Amino acid sequence: MSQTQDVKAFARERGAHLVGIAPVERFVEGPVGHRPGDLLPGARSVVVVALRLFQSVLDLREICRESELIPADVLPDVQAHYYRRTHYETVNWGLQLIGHQVAYWLSEAGHDVMPTPVTYDVGDLSSRVPGYYAPFSHRHAAVAAGLGEFGRNNLLLTPKYGPRQRFNSVITTAELEPDPILDEGLCRGDECDACRKAWPDCFGELYSWSMAGTTFEMASFDGCAPDYPCGGGGCIRVCPVGAKNAVS
């Protein structure tokens, strides 16, 4: 197998559900300081990996609903803890581990690498950055790696899982074979609009946004609703794309 096939197979063996490769040229219009070459001089490729989410956890509004032990006023916090531990902390650490293993593999093959953090929500750090911008965007990297497309909900949709996955990226000087950009029109737009119908206070006007030669129709995002469980992946839960594969 080629080195590209080898590194993809390695990532899958370590648990990745999706793997894609992006050339750094697809990030040329990205913000200065956040492009692959800004983070790793001489970078040529970005390896993007994903772990899927469970629909049963997304439907967490039913968790402990009839509990004889947990008071009703405490239940939302219990549900939030359940979601945060299973769909953020555990998935993030799984992605972090896979990303570092891929980085070690590439490093041992003689290439420079830059592993990246999975999430930027650490204490109040993200809130101190206007717009909540992270050092590197895994969603945009996933588009560049041909794994998915942006939906109206501002989430990255993949053909298999819709918005039900999280991503991590490894920047490397290895010249790997890139995957083609996906252009399947996964978001159903007006035919669906489930995200904006379910959470009208979160999404605003539609606008067009382009990346790597593909244009996406997205809705302006005003932030997650303060009432739980929308904060527990509500817009992910209602999206029909990939729902048939969102097994428990």
Reply yes or no on whether the pLDDT at 77 is more than 90: no
Q: How confident is the model at residue 226 (pLDDT cuts 50, 70, 90)?
A: low
- What separation, in Å, do the N-terminal and C-terminal C-alpha atoms of the chain show? 34
Tell me the mean pLDDT in the region 6-26: 98
Comparing 24-33, 84-93, 130-139, 156-165, which segment has the lowest mean pLDDT? Answer: 130-139
- What pLDDT score was predicted for residue 80? 82
Among the residue ranges 78-92, 100-114, 121-135, the one predicted with the least confidence is: 121-135
DSSP state at residue 167: E
Measured at the CA of 129, the angle between CA 127 and CA 133, to 5 degrees, comes to 105
Please report the pLDDT score of residue 228 as a whole number. 44
Does residue 229 have a cis bond before it (omega within 30 degrees)?
yes
pTM for the structure as a whole: 0.91
pLDDT, tens digit (0-9, with 9 covering 90-100), for 114-136: 999 987 565 666 667 776 778 89
**Residue 246 burial by CB count (10 A; 0-12/13-18/19+): exposed, middle or buried?**
buried
Among the listed residues 179, 183, 191, 182, the one whose alpha carbon sits nearest the alpha carbon of residue 152:
191
Q: What own/partner pairs with CB < 8 Å and gap ≥ 24 does 187-195 have?
A: 187/149, 187/150, 187/151, 187/152, 187/157, 187/216, 187/217, 187/241, 188/240, 188/241, 189/152, 189/217, 192/240, 193/152, 194/238, 194/239, 194/240, 195/151, 195/152, 195/153, 195/219, 195/235, 195/238, 195/239
The values of phi and psi at residue 51, to 5°, are -120, 135
Rg (the chain; Cα; Å): 18
Note the CATH number of domain 3-149+159-183.
Answer: 3.40.109
Residue 198's pLDDT band (cuts 50, 70, 90): confident
Number of H helices, E strands in the chain: 8, 8
- SS percent in the chain: helix, strand, coil, step 5: 35, 20, 45
Tell me what the pLDDT averaged over the chain comes to: 88
Could you list the beta-strand ranges (E) of 91-183.
Answer: 113-115, 149-150, 156-157, 165-172
In this prediction, residue 22 carries a pLDDT of 98
Task: Name which residue leads in pLDDT, 185 or 229.
Answer: 185
150 has pLDDT over 60: yes
φ and ψ of 20, to 5 deg: -140, 160
For residue 81, pLDDT beyond 90? no
Q: Report the pLDDT averaged over residues 15-34.
A: 95
Q: Tell me, what's the pLDDT at 121?
A: 60
Distance of CA 61 to the CA centre of its chain: 22
